[in-house]
Amino acid sequence: AWLVLCPSPSPLLGRDADAPQPATAELFARRQAHLAAPQKNYYAAPPQIERGWREHLFDVEGRAYLDMVNNVTILGHGHPRLAAAVNAQWLRLNTNSRFHYAVITEFSERLAALAPDGLDAVFLVNSGSEANDLAIRLAQAHSGARNMLCLLEAYHGWSAASDAVSTSIADNPRALSTRPDWVHAVVSPNTYRGEFRGPDTAVSYLDAAAPVLEAIDAGGKGLAGFICESVYGNAGGIPLPEGYLREIYAQVRARGGLCIADEVQVGYGRLGHYFWGFEQQGVVPDIITVAKGMGNGHPLGAVITTREIAQSLQKEGTFFSSTGGSPVSCIAGMTVLDIMAEEKLQENARTVGDHLKARLAALIDRHPIAGAVHGMGLYLGLEFVRDRTTLTPATEETAAICDRLLELGVIMQPTGDHQNVLKIKPPLCLSIESADFFADMLEKVLDEGW
Ligand code: PLP
């Protein structure tokens, strides 16, 4: 039922996207020889993808896969309208963003309109890492301090400052002691397997953060800011405990620091019930960072903040990104927002996400290894455990389940610090039929003996 028609792209001028690809094994050997070694690649021999259409990918042998891990291509693959808009803009003009060109201004206005009142200054960049680096730099420039507070088991990117505050063991195992001395991490409020899980979680996690804040106070050098995802993303979308952001934001602001909401992964409609993750906590950050889906795969990111905070960068010189917010990037960004609205993709994330979450929750009743389902909308986490009391992570089992899912035509990878969570983040156009297909295949795999 999920077989779809995938149109063949029209022949391109110059390099032909329809040209036959080299054989899988040969291309993979060449990849290993030249593509940067530590690039994350879960499958030992990944399928060689040839094209995509909506939530499906097709390999060179014509096999179809349901893409359940793509949090970049939020409209789905191969959207013809986006391709047409980007092509037309390329033909008219693409250049760096310092030029006075209408679509750059229009896209910035559009982003400011999506942000809470007062956050109407927009910096356009190329990626989430770059957005977080800039946000940290803004917090440091605004406060005149350098110290940054972050959460343990978090990921914010791989460029200098975003890497420094990325503490997830799976993504960045370097010890905290090797980080710049301005990085201060507090325990992550993982209410499922966290140290303080229980009814008073917000209070316990805030108590645990207190000594770190006191040490920053004792150092006498002030606090520049605090960065975190508004939903605990690394572990598959666990909501932060009620009141957590309100309280910690208040403590950071009392020290003159700025609060940065990293919405790169969870924001922009993916949660279905909210456009931004921080809405769930009833707070308004000082700086929002966003990237991934906003260009549907085209490199695009943004930092949205107040005019006053934006101005503080002038003390440090100017901000300039050669390609961030180029006309083509901005047309991609504008068209993504148009299509999201017309195709009601945030609503789709809510309805299909609620349906899928209910199907996954039903697996918990039948399969002891399925410990919990987290998240909302089309940002869900299914956590596998060996024992529901000790919550021992079922790491090897999760890898085997993913391998079997691939055989059944589903692309899914383990994530989280224990690599025992299926982080479910498909394109927002996922249909109910595809959601059911995924749930059916997962059920089949679990019925086979996990
Ligand atoms: N922040 C979060 C929460 C992310 O998940 C990621 C990427 O996975 C980033 C920042 C970095 O974004 P990028 O890969 O576009 O640099």
Distance 275 CA to ligand 1 centre (A): 18
Angle at 216 between CA 210 and CA 221, to 5 degrees: 155
| Element (DSSP H or E) covering residue 373 | strand 370-376
b/e burial code for range 181-206 (CB count within 10 A of at least 16 → b)? ebbbbbbbbbbbbbebbeeebbebbb
Residues 49, 40 contacting (CB under 8 angstroms) = no
Strand partners, 239: 231
Strand partners, 51: 58
Residue 70: CB within 6 Å of ligand 1? no
Sign of the dihedral defined by the CA atoms of residues 291, 263, 175, 194, in that order: negative
Among 147, 146, 164, CA closest to 155: 164
| Residue 298 C-alpha from the chain's centroid | 15
Q: pLDDT at position 42, please?
A: 67
Residue 272: CB within 6 Å of ligand 1? no
What amino acid is encoded at 80 in this protein?
P
Pairing of strands 287-290, 370-376: unpaired
Strand partners, 59: 49
Residues 270, 74 contacting (CB under 8 angstroms) = yes
pLDDT tens profile 342-399: 999 999 999 999 999 999 999 998 999 999 999 999 999 999 999 999 999 999 999 9
pLDDT tens profile 169-222: 776 777 888 899 999 999 999 899 888 887 788 999 999 999 999 999 999 999
Q: Which of 292, 329, 379 to mutate to test the pocket of ligand 1 (most atoms within 8 A of CB)?
A: 292
Residue 153: CB within 6 Å of ligand 1? no
Residue 127: CB within 6 Å of ligand 1? yes
45 Cβ contact list (under 8 Å, min separation 6): 24, 25, 28
Q: pLDDT at position 37, please?
A: 58
Q: pLDDT at position 2, please?
A: 36
| Percent with pLDDT over 70 in the chain | 94
Distance 291 CA to ligand 1 centre (A): 8
291 CA closest ligand 1 atom index: 15
Q: pLDDT at position 39, please?
A: 55
Q: Assign residue 131 a region: left if phi > 0, alpha if psi is -120 to 50, beta otherwise? A: alpha
Q: pLDDT at position 16, please?
A: 65
pTM for the model stands at: 0.94
216 Cβ contact list (under 8 Å, min separation 6): 147, 149, 184, 222, 223, 255
Residue 192 has, within 13 A of its CA and on its CB side, a CA count of 25
Among 106, 84, 86, 83, CA closest to 94: 86
Q: pLDDT at position 15, please?
A: 57
The ipTM, to two decimals, is: 0.99
State how far the Cα of 379 lies from the Cα of 140, in Å rounded to an integer.
31
Distance 388 CA to ligand 1 centre (A): 31
Name which residue sits closest to atom 13 of ligand 1, judged by CA: 128
Residues 326, 94 contacting (CB under 8 angstroms) = yes
Q: Which of 156, 294, 300, 323 to mutate to test the pocket of ligand 1 (most atoms within 8 A of CB)?
A: 156
Q: Which of 129, 172, 230, 423 to mutate to test the pocket of ligand 1 (most atoms within 8 A of CB)?
A: 129
pLDDT, mean of residues 319-330: 92
157 CA closest ligand 1 atom index: 11
State how far the Cα of 164 lies from the Cα of 180, in Å rounded to an integer.
7
Among 401, 408, 406, 350, CA closest to 380: 350
Residue 233: CB within 6 Å of ligand 1? yes
Among 240, 236, 239, 293, CA closest to 263: 293
Residue 234: CB within 6 Å of ligand 1? no
Burial degree of 23 (CB within 10 A; 0-12, 13-18, 19+): exposed
Q: Which of 158, 232, 265 to mutate to test the pocket of ligand 1 (most atoms within 8 A of CB)?
A: 265
Token digits of residue 50: 């040839």
Name which residue sits closest to atom 7 of ligand 1, judged by CA: 157
